[in-house]
Amino acid sequence: MSGDVKMATRRLSLYYGKHKALDDITLDFMCASITAIIGPSGCGKSTLIRALNRMNDLIPNVRVVGEVLLDGVNIYSDSVPVTEIRRRVGMVFQKPNPFPKSVFENVAYGLRIKGIRNRTEIRDRVEAALRAAALWDEVKDRLHESAISLSGGQQQRLCIARALAVEPEVLLLDEPTSALDPIAAGKIEELLVELKKSYTVIIVTHNIQQAARVSDTTAFLYLGKLIEVDRTEKIFTNPSNRLTEEYIGGRFG
């Protein structure tokens, strides 16, 4: 599947009321790869990633123009159920947000919502998700303790496991390590590199070095516009656009 386009935007613009937050963005996200979205605060990074699973639908006065394609189908089409999009396109937020439930029930939650009742299947899928999130060995004896008792880094990996349990095809991460210490952040980065073998991973990050370390492709946004997208190595060593060069060089942002 690597080399195939899994998700894409086509001339995507998004308005909050009269404010144009995204401006005519066309971008491909490849199977089995990590795309990093970088840019200064307020440039539209979070708005873009939330548009990829219709999270912006929850905000009043949002208007979307253009298309977001998942396997070639526009997710904003009336014929596509939002619940199906959210299952196929998982989301992990900036701050770990475990439910006030046990470790086990946090991961099982989405499975129960899907209507899975078989206890053995739930148990097996919870374990598989925790293993995929590189957390099983740390929590296998704590499955019935509150998720809130985990460290911040463990909570964030638990949120990743929760997203993986329902078997998404795309994993969106909005600044997933910004609330974590460097060691916990490093574990998440290692995890993402492992996960890209099975998922299309899209990460918003303020951390330029993180984008350089983990991503295959980097997209630079500025004032709601896509300034440049290319292989990460090229973006960081020989960007085509002066704005990209200045941002990566730390001259603004």
Per residue of the chain (253 residues), give pLDDT as tens. 456 999 999 999 999 999 999 999 999 999 999 999 999 999 999 999 999 999 998 899 999 999 999 999 999 999 999 999 999 999 999 999 999 999 999 999 999 998 999 999 999 999 999 999 999 999 999 999 999 999 999 999 999 999 999 999 999 999 999 989 999 999 999 999 999 999 999 999 999 999 999 999 999 999 999 999 999 999 999 999 999 999 999 888 7
Alpha helix locations (H) across the chain? Answer: 45-51, 82-88, 103-113, 119-132, 136-139, 152-165, 182-195, 208-214, 232-237, 242-248
188 in a structural domain: yes
111 in a structural domain: no
Which structural domain range is residue 25 located in? 5-96+166-248
Q: Look at residues 60, 45, 122, 89 and name the one whose alpha carbon lies nearest to residue 199.
A: 89
241 in a structural domain: yes
Number of domains the chain is built from: 1
127 in a structural domain: no
CATH number at residue 217: 3.40.50.300
109 in a structural domain: no
30 in a structural domain: yes
34 in a structural domain: yes
117 in a structural domain: no
pTM over 0.85: yes
